Structure 1
Amino acid sequence: MKHAGKAVLAATMAMTMLAACGDGGSSKEQPSGSPGASSGAASPSASAGPKKEISVSMFDRGTVATDEGTYESNRWTKWINEKAPVNVKWVPVTRNQAQPKLNALIASGEAPDLIWEYDRNYISQLANQGAIQPIGDYIEKYSTTYKAYLEKHPELKPYLNFNGQVYAISFARETVANHGMWIRQDWLDKLGLKAPTTVEELIEVARKFKDADPDGNGKPDTVPIALSNASSSIYRSLFFTSENQWYVEDGKLKFGRTLDRYADSLAFQKQLFDEGLIDKEYITDTNFQRSTQLLTTGKAGIYLGNWDIEAQYRELVKNDPKAQMVPLESVSSKYGKSGLYQEAPPSIFTAFNSKMKEEQIKSAIQFIDWMLKDGWVTLKYGEENVHFKMVDGVRQKTDQEKIKKELAYALEYPIVMDSVLKPEQFPAMAAKDEISQTYAKLRGTSLELALKNKYRRDIPFSPDFPELTQLIATFNPIAQQIEAKVITGGKSMSPEEGMNELRKEWKRLGGDNVEKLAQEWYDKNKSNLK
């Protein structure tokens, strides 16, 4: 999924991020939490000379506590530089502005050596711009661990190729599950309701949650459905469509935002808004803080979010110890039952700055090999007897608050991992307190439900060519305005009228030509897309 050409750099800088991560071997390494702290693995010998330095981008999610330091310097960056074969300079970019920030760094010649993103389209864009370079020969020449890993995971290889060459490294996700639905079982029980299995039943349950005072405070103050950054995708997936995917319809490649099914997703969202089943202020709640508060303070009974919501769950039961939030299987629409959004097999894509020389590339690959072999385990699980203890061969969390403060942000640093989530291990891995154990079981059920129904993905990744990039960059904000008018504008624009407007704008901006080019791409690459 890429974009192209210097001519479109300005446009791509304006693009917003697309919405968008087992158990390894036992780690004996300990992080350097204070001066003089020691670790298991020996540091590179001083006789080997000074270590090379590389720079690596990372997402700043604002989760580093003040007394932990900063994203650039903390217990984990110090541990990495003590253990790794290179010194790493980390370059944080704000998560929801990462692509524009990286584009600005690239344009100014100040981009880090290694640039990573979840979005394959973005890596494609950088390759087409010449901002990153092919690395297949260097992996073959300098890598041992990652090269062997790639041989064990051939499903990754098609995603790493751009224009016939390997431009990125990646690793298999712990799970492809991403989005999930949750519901207050105690509210269902109180009102004598069953968990909804269809879109219509979901709406009916939401109405009851709105009108029947399920929190028992005698006030009409519940907002049935709490939203998150996953909600829009969930609306779409129930109707087997997505605004940013291509679908094969009768052998023809069609863009999701122009399909008839897309109108159904708009109609569904409009109904939820018109009936007050979602927060009327959701348009301005861009960071979903208000919606999260509705959930965690016990004012919402259904949550459209991710399959793993531990932080929100803990806050909810802290505020309302009797709350029973449980995972809900995806509901069916007239098109059948679709899985909620599931990721493609690769996790993040890490690319190499085109300005890097061979010696720097060699050092970067040595770092990747180290991270895959030794580094990621400690960064994921922390320090033994501090953040976890080994119980029957499984790492069991010890102090949830300590983990939240000291360890959670460490997962920004492993750019490669070798980990698979196993639901049956969740209870053993969790702390032994009642809340942790209860959630561990719910988490396992949620993961199983998130994977139970297959998410529709007709092709593994989208076509990438400059005309498409330019069109999407211009079309997306226009489409969002049209959709907002449909959903929140009452009778001013129906879903059908909104679809007409979407298709008219798509066509005006060159959609017919883009569909022609996409079809040519599909016909040419069809055999490699299976």
Structure 2
Amino acid sequence: MNKRRQTGTAAIAATIAMTMLAACGTAKSGSEQPSGTPGTSTAGNGGPKKEISVSMFDRGTVPTEEGTYENNRWTKWINEHAPVNVKWVPVARNQAQPKLNALIASGEAPDLIWEYDRNYISQLANQGAIQPIGDYIEKYSTTYKAYLDKHPELKSYLNFGGKVYAVSFARETVANHGMWIRQDWLDKLGLKTPTTVEELIEVARKFKDGDPDGNGKADTVPIALSANASSIYRALYFTNEGQWYVEGGKLQYGRLLDRYGDSLAFQKQLFDEGLIDKEYITDTNFQRSTQLLTTGKAGIYFGGWDMEALNGNLVKNESNAKMVPLESVSTKYGKNGLYQEAPPSIFTAFNSKMKEDQIKAAIQFIDWMLKDGWETLKYGEENVHYKMVDGVQQKIDADKNKKELAYAFEYPIVMDSVLKPELFPAMAAKDEISQNYAKLKGKSLELALKNKYRRDIPFNPDFPELTQLIATFNPIAQQIEAKVVTGGKAMTPEDGMAELRKEWKRLGGDNVEKLAQEWYEKNKSGMK
């Protein structure tokens, strides 16, 4: 996952607003109180199972021989074992919110809708597309209710306007982003592991000019990028384009801070000196950057803390390559952690058109998934995909799991799992490549959590004026920043920041900042 930021969730909010009365005409009022009508019988009492529908992300990873996201070995397993029958509704990952918005507007949205983006769930609550569920959880849940009591850190995230509108679960780890570096290149060129941004730039220069791949050509691009790269530039300077920060008691938007300009200057320096790929702007899916990394033409990677597949491909191409995790480097502001997620994982909301018997069935499904379902969907079947060794699920065949199991992680809408680095080697397949990487993976997770990531408030303001402003402002900001980074002397970072602030103000930023401060004063007591 990469960062979970404000993502323009209101791109077609107007469409939903105009059609919501027609599409959600049966929506409940703002009360959370269930009517008390018991749900219809389920498999648990001998009657027929009810059916619920659940959204999911289509990432295009289901092999043809396995079936489809709607129909495969795991959907069949779920319907065989769960107390309900589930109809899965895939939406393309990169178009998830527009697709869900369209389904809601047409009255065809699934019963359960989930997203990583809390602001999107807030938008749906404000528009009446989803309904409060706090009293239903209290009435019908056992397992999830107990789980929530053990994880009170989740509760403030599930409240919208004083009512519970979603279920979620604690992430296996809040670690997300990470940096990696070729240790064999450092050794060959007699370089030390960089600990500051200045040392990182100097190492990148040596990787560019020192022929670390030994082919006698100046053909290396020191730093390979991923979708996480932009956030890594920002995190080093204690800012993020989508977060708000408390500066002197006032909320300020991260994209407008002075230190955000410093992050642009760093990014521009990397581009101007050829330390990142000059074609990164058009490499929107990062295929070119991935190829540079896995074919041994890049020595530093701005990506995620776990790069198992990429490392495997690199080692296949260059058996002597040794990619190792790199701790976040310090700047003049100190050392910040790279991007770390807030505690909740996905947010699952209940369609406002659901009746109480459907809600009861959905909560029974959530309880079953949390108690009995998620482990099989994560680890597969015993003696088929793993074997138990010293109380740990150890992979039997990494390639088999990649084909038959990797896509199954889309189905557990709740789970109770914590990643433990010391267990990675025991869980990995026993071939040398898998074992070597498992040790690196554990070290990478430790480094990703070593430095706390700055997050002044647990979640961002979510009022409509802000959502509308961000949807308009972000594309303009991206154009300005691209001109700063790639435009040579045409626009300095200082000029770029002046333009960003000018556009923000033109679009109503002063009023939004005033509303954001009011929101903060109203909500800060509950932000723990």
Settle same-fold status: TM greater than 0.5: yes
The residue number in structure 2 matching 1:253 is 251
Kindly provide the CA deviation profile for residues 130-160 of structure 1, in whole angstroms up to 9, marking residues without a partner as x: 1100000100111111001001110000000
TM-fit CA distance, 1:9: 3.1
Contact 1:60 1:94 in 2 (8 A): yes
1:419 corresponding residue in structure 2: 417
Which amino acid is the alignment partner of residue 241 of structure 1? T
Instruction: Find 1:211's aligned residue among 209, 224, 229.
Output: 209
Which residue of the partner structure matches residue 172 of structure 1? 170
CA displacement, residues 144-192 of structure 1 (integer Å, 9 cap, x when unaligned): 1100100111000000000000000000000110000000000000000
Match for 1:522 among 495, 520, 523?
A: 520
Aligned-partner residue type, residue 330 of structure 2: S
Q: What SS does the aligned partner of 1:335 have? A: coil
Q: Matched residues in 1 for 2:11 and 2:252: separation?
A: 27
Query: Distance in 1 between the 2:464 and 2:11 partners?
Result: 10
Letter in 2 for 1:443: K
CA RMSD of aligned residues (A): 1.7
Answer whether contact 2:178 2:338 (CA < 8 A) is retained: yes
Q: Given the alignment of the two structures, is residue 9 of structure 1 paired with residue 7 of structure 2, yes or no? A: no
Aligned equivalents of 1:5, 1:339: Cα separation in 2 = 30
Query: For the Cα contact (< 8 Å) 2:52–2:111, is it kept in 1?
Result: yes
Output the CA distance in 2 between the equivalents of 1:520 and 1:316.
Answer: 51
Is contact 2:242–2:254 with CA below 8 Å preserved after alignment?
yes
The answer (yes or no) to whether the contact 1:6–1:129 under 8 Å persists in 2 is no
Q: In 2, distance between residues paired with 1:188 and 1:427?
A: 26
- Counterpart of 2:120 (choices 119, 122, 125) is 122
Give the Å deviation of 1:11: 9.6
Distance in 1 between residues matched to 2:267 and 2:159, nearest whole Å: 37
| Corresponding letter in the other structure for 2:462 | D
How far apart, CA to CA, are the structure 2 residues paired with 1:348 and 1:403?
24
- 1:361 and 1:75 mapped to 2: Cα distance? 26
Match for residue 360 of structure 1 among 358, 361, 364: 358
Give 5+ residue unaligned stretches, structure 1: 14-43
| Structure 1 residue matching 2:405: 3-state secondary structure | helix
| 1:273-292 map, 5 Å | 273-292=271-290
Residues 5, 98 of structure 1: CA spacing in aligned structure 2 closer, same or farther, 3 A cutoff?
closer
What residue number does 1:462 align with? Answer: 460
**Residue in structure 1 matched with residue 335 of structure 2 by the alignment:** 337
Partner residue of 1:485 out of 483, 486, 501 = 483
Matched residue type, 1:86: V
Residue 113 of structure 1: how far off its partner (Å): 0.6
Quote the residue 2:138 is aligned against.
140
Residue in 2 that maps onto 1:512: 510
Matched, 1:104 2:102: yes
**Distance in 2 (alpha carbons) for counterparts of 1:117 and 1:47:** 32
In structure 1, C-alpha distance between the alignment counterparts of 2:317 and 2:69, rounded to whole Å = 31
Alpha-carbon distance, 1:474 to partner: 0.4
Matched residues, number? 500
SS of 1:303's equivalent in the other structure is strand
Provide the C-alpha distance between the structure 2 equivalents of 1:275 and 1:5, rounded to a whole number of angstroms.
Answer: 38
Measured against aligned partners, the alpha-carbon deviations of 1:16-36 in whole angstroms (never above 9, x if no partner) come to: xxxxxxxxxxxxxxxxxxxxx
> Which AA in structure 1 matches 2:382?
E
Give distance in 2, aligned partners of 1:12 and 1:479.
26
Give the secondary structure class of the aligned counterpart of 1:330.
Answer: coil
The gaps in structure 2 that reach 5 residues or longer are: 19-41
Partner of 1:397: 395
Task: Provide the rounded CA distance (Å) in 1 between the counterparts of 2:57 and 2:90.
Answer: 5
Task: Tell me if the contact between 2:9 and 2:97 (Cα under 8 Å) persists in the aligned partners.
Answer: no
Letter aligned with residue 80 of structure 2: E
> For the Cα contact (< 8 Å) 1:5–1:129, is it kept in 2?
no
1:58 maps to which residue?
A: 56
Correspondence for 1:376: 374
Conservation of the 8 A alpha-carbon contact between 2:179 and 2:304: yes
Q: Distance in 1 between matches of 2:59 and 2:73?
A: 17
For 1:442, the equivalent position in structure 2 comes to 440
Q: Is contact 1:12–1:473 with CA below 8 Å preserved after alignment?
A: no
| Distance of 1:89 and 1:11 partners within structure 2 | 24
The alpha carbon displacement at 1:96 in A equals 1.2
Q: Which residue of 2 aligns with 1:22?
A: none
**Which amino acid is 1:406 matched to?**
E
Q: 1:9 is matched by which residue type in structure 2?
A: A
Cα offset, 1:221, TM superposition: 1.1
Per-residue deviation, 1:10: 4.4
Shift of 1:12: 10
- Rounded Cα–Cα distance in structure 2 between residues aligned with 1:78 and 1:529: 41
Q: Distance in 1 between matches of 2:264 and 2:133?
A: 43
1:347 counterpart residue number: 345
Cα distance in 2, alignment partners of residues 365 and 140 from structure 1: 10
SS of aligned partner of 2:245? strand
What amino acid does structure 2 have at the position aligned with 1:295? L
Q: Equivalent of 1:78, from 76, 79, 97?
A: 76
Code of the residue aligned with 1:149 in structure 2: it is Y
* TM-score, scaled to structure 2: 0.93
**CA offset at residue 50 of structure 1?**
2.2
